Amino acid sequence: MKPAVVIGYGNPLRQDDAIGRRAAELLKSCEAEIICCHQLTPELAAALAGAPLAIFLDAAVDQHPGQVLSRRVSPCHSDLTSHHLAPEQLLDLARLLNGDAPPAYLITGGVDRTGIGDTLTPAAERCAARMADVALDLLSIEKFASHMRPPELGYSR
Protein backbone atom coordinates (compact mmCIF):
# COMPACT_ATOMS: atom_id res chain seq x y z
CA MET A 1 0.00 0.00 0.00
CA LYS A 2 1.28 3.46 -0.89
CA PRO A 3 2.32 5.49 2.17
CA ALA A 4 1.05 8.92 3.10
CA VAL A 5 2.62 11.84 1.25
CA VAL A 6 4.15 14.80 3.07
CA ILE A 7 5.01 17.87 1.00
CA GLY A 8 7.04 20.64 2.61
CA TYR A 9 7.45 23.68 0.42
CA GLY A 10 9.02 27.12 0.44
CA ASN A 11 12.01 29.09 -0.76
CA PRO A 12 15.23 27.99 0.98
CA LEU A 13 16.89 31.28 -0.02
CA ARG A 14 14.30 33.37 1.84
CA GLN A 15 15.04 32.52 5.46
CA ASP A 16 11.97 31.27 7.33
CA ASP A 17 9.92 30.81 4.17
CA ALA A 18 11.58 27.37 4.12
CA ILE A 19 10.03 26.35 7.44
CA GLY A 20 7.72 23.83 5.71
CA ARG A 21 10.66 22.14 4.02
CA ARG A 22 12.51 21.95 7.31
CA ALA A 23 9.52 20.37 9.03
CA ALA A 24 9.29 17.81 6.21
CA GLU A 25 12.98 16.98 6.57
CA LEU A 26 12.40 16.23 10.25
CA LEU A 27 9.92 13.55 9.20
CA LYS A 28 12.30 11.69 6.91
CA SER A 29 12.50 8.65 9.15
CA CYS A 30 8.69 8.21 9.09
CA GLU A 31 6.79 5.74 6.97
CA ALA A 32 5.71 8.39 4.51
CA GLU A 33 6.84 9.74 1.17
CA ILE A 34 8.56 13.01 2.00
CA ILE A 35 8.81 15.65 -0.71
CA CYS A 36 10.63 18.96 -0.27
CA CYS A 37 10.12 21.52 -3.01
CA HIS A 38 10.13 25.19 -3.84
CA GLN A 39 6.43 25.44 -4.57
CA LEU A 40 3.46 23.28 -5.48
CA THR A 41 3.44 22.36 -9.17
CA PRO A 42 1.20 20.14 -11.31
CA GLU A 43 3.76 17.30 -11.35
CA LEU A 44 3.01 16.66 -7.68
CA ALA A 45 -0.49 15.47 -8.60
CA ALA A 46 1.09 12.18 -9.68
CA ALA A 47 2.66 11.72 -6.24
CA LEU A 48 -0.79 11.99 -4.65
CA ALA A 49 -2.26 9.13 -6.71
CA GLY A 50 -3.37 6.34 -4.37
CA ALA A 51 -2.00 8.02 -1.25
CA PRO A 52 -4.12 7.45 1.88
CA LEU A 53 -3.26 10.88 3.27
CA ALA A 54 -1.51 14.07 2.16
CA ILE A 55 0.03 16.61 4.50
CA PHE A 56 1.18 20.01 3.25
CA LEU A 57 3.67 22.02 5.30
CA ASP A 58 4.06 25.71 4.56
CA ALA A 59 5.09 29.06 6.03
CA ALA A 60 2.44 31.67 6.80
CA VAL A 61 3.19 35.37 7.12
CA ASP A 62 -0.39 36.11 8.11
CA GLN A 63 -0.31 34.26 11.41
CA HIS A 64 1.54 34.94 14.62
CA PRO A 65 5.27 34.04 14.39
CA GLY A 66 5.79 30.64 15.94
CA GLN A 67 2.10 29.78 15.86
CA VAL A 68 1.28 26.39 14.31
CA LEU A 69 -2.13 25.87 12.71
CA SER A 70 -3.54 22.79 11.08
CA ARG A 71 -6.64 22.55 8.96
CA ARG A 72 -8.30 20.08 6.64
CA VAL A 73 -8.06 21.03 2.94
CA SER A 74 -10.24 19.72 0.12
CA PRO A 75 -10.09 19.93 -3.66
CA CYS A 76 -11.21 23.31 -4.87
CA HIS A 77 -11.13 24.80 -8.34
CA SER A 78 -10.48 28.46 -7.64
CA ASP A 79 -9.13 31.19 -9.91
CA LEU A 80 -5.71 30.32 -11.28
CA THR A 81 -3.90 33.58 -11.12
CA SER A 82 -0.46 32.84 -9.80
CA HIS A 83 2.76 31.06 -10.63
CA HIS A 84 2.06 28.18 -8.31
CA LEU A 85 -0.76 26.05 -6.97
CA ALA A 86 -2.46 26.18 -3.60
CA PRO A 87 -2.94 22.80 -1.85
CA GLU A 88 -6.66 22.91 -2.73
CA GLN A 89 -5.85 23.39 -6.43
CA LEU A 90 -3.27 20.62 -6.43
CA LEU A 91 -5.81 18.29 -4.81
CA ASP A 92 -8.34 19.29 -7.45
CA LEU A 93 -5.86 18.50 -10.21
CA ALA A 94 -5.12 15.15 -8.54
CA ARG A 95 -8.86 14.45 -8.44
CA LEU A 96 -9.23 15.24 -12.15
CA LEU A 97 -6.20 13.19 -13.16
CA ASN A 98 -6.40 10.28 -10.75
CA GLY A 99 -10.14 10.07 -10.20
CA ASP A 100 -9.73 10.81 -6.50
CA ALA A 101 -7.77 12.99 -4.12
CA PRO A 102 -6.51 11.87 -0.72
CA PRO A 103 -7.77 13.38 2.52
CA ALA A 104 -5.39 16.23 3.22
CA TYR A 105 -4.24 18.67 5.87
CA LEU A 106 -2.34 21.92 5.65
CA ILE A 107 -0.05 22.68 8.56
CA THR A 108 1.29 26.22 8.61
CA GLY A 109 3.95 27.81 10.77
CA GLY A 110 3.83 31.55 11.38
CA VAL A 111 6.97 33.42 10.27
CA ASP A 112 8.03 37.05 9.97
CA ARG A 113 11.59 36.78 8.64
CA THR A 114 11.54 36.15 4.90
CA GLY A 115 14.49 38.22 3.74
CA ILE A 116 17.46 36.88 1.83
CA GLY A 117 19.20 34.07 3.69
CA ASP A 118 19.62 30.32 3.54
CA THR A 119 19.12 29.44 7.20
CA LEU A 120 16.10 29.47 9.47
CA THR A 121 15.99 31.66 12.54
CA PRO A 122 16.14 29.75 15.86
CA ALA A 123 12.47 30.57 16.46
CA ALA A 124 11.53 29.10 13.09
CA GLU A 125 13.59 25.98 13.81
CA ARG A 126 11.55 25.43 16.97
CA CYS A 127 8.34 26.12 15.10
CA ALA A 128 9.33 23.63 12.36
CA ALA A 129 9.79 20.96 15.05
CA ARG A 130 6.28 21.64 16.37
CA MET A 131 4.89 21.47 12.82
CA ALA A 132 6.59 18.09 12.42
CA ASP A 133 5.00 16.93 15.70
CA VAL A 134 1.54 17.87 14.43
CA ALA A 135 2.24 16.04 11.16
CA LEU A 136 3.45 13.03 13.10
CA ASP A 137 0.19 12.94 15.07
CA LEU A 138 -1.79 13.00 11.80
CA LEU A 139 0.37 10.24 10.34
CA SER A 140 -0.12 8.11 13.47
CA ILE A 141 -3.87 8.59 13.38
CA GLU A 142 -3.93 7.67 9.71
CA LYS A 143 -1.82 4.59 10.29
CA PHE A 144 -4.04 3.49 13.16
CA ALA A 145 -7.18 4.14 11.09
CA SER A 146 -5.84 2.15 8.15
CA HIS A 147 -5.39 -0.91 10.40
CA MET A 148 -9.02 -0.60 11.51
CA ARG A 149 -10.38 -0.60 7.97
CA PRO A 150 -11.73 -3.85 6.48
CA PRO A 151 -9.45 -5.36 3.83
CA GLU A 152 -10.20 -3.84 0.46
CA LEU A 153 -10.55 -7.21 -1.23
CA GLY A 154 -13.23 -8.35 1.21
CA TYR A 155 -13.47 -11.14 3.78
CA SER A 156 -14.31 -13.96 1.39
CA ARG A 157 -10.65 -14.56 0.70
Partner 1 sequence: MPTRNIVIDPVTRIEGHAKITIELAEDGQIADARFHVTQFRGFEKLCEGRPFYEMPSLMARICGICPVSHLIASSKACDAILAVSIPPNAARLRRILNLAQILQSHALSVFYLSSPDLLLGMEAAPERRNLFGVAATEPEVARDGIRLRQIGQQIIETLGGKKIHPAWVVPGGVSAPLGAEKRDQILALLPDATAALDRTLDRFRRVFQSFPEEMSTFANFPSLFLGLTDGAGKLEFYDGPLRIVGSDGEVVASHLQPADYPNYLGEIAEDDSFLKSAYYLPHGYPDGIYRVGPLARLNLVMSCGTPRADHELGALRAMAGTPLLSSFHYHQARLIEMFHCVERMEELLNAPDILSPHVRAQAEPNAEEGIGIAEAPRGTLLHHYKVDRNGLITWANLIIATGQNNLALNRGVKQVATYFVRDGKLSDGALNRVEAVVRAFDPCLSCSTHAIGAMPMEIELRGPEGALLDRRQRA
**Which residues of this protein are in contact with partner 1, per CB under 8 A?**
38, 41-43, 45-46, 77, 79-83, 85, 89, 92-93, 96-97
CB of 101 to partner 1, least distance (A): 12
CB of 84 to partner 1, least distance (A): 8
Q: Give the single-character DSSP code of 114.
A: -
Q: Which of residues 100 and 137 has its CB atom nearest to partner 1 in the complex?
A: 100
CB of 66 to partner 1, least distance (A): 30
Q: Which of residues 17 and 92 has its CB atom nearest to partner 1 in the complex?
A: 92
> How far is the C-alpha of 22 from the C-alpha of 148, rounded, in Å?
31
Q: Are 25 and 135 in contact (CB under 8 A)?
A: no
Q: Which of residues 42 and 50 has its CB atom nearest to partner 1 in the complex?
A: 42
Q: Which of residues 80 and 153 has its CB atom nearest to partner 1 in the complex?
A: 80
Burial class from Cβ neighbours inside 10 Å (0-12, 13-18, 19+) for residue 45 reads: buried
Q: Are 116 and 15 in contact (CB under 8 A)?
A: yes
> How far is the C-alpha of 104 from the C-alpha of 138, rounded, in Å?
10
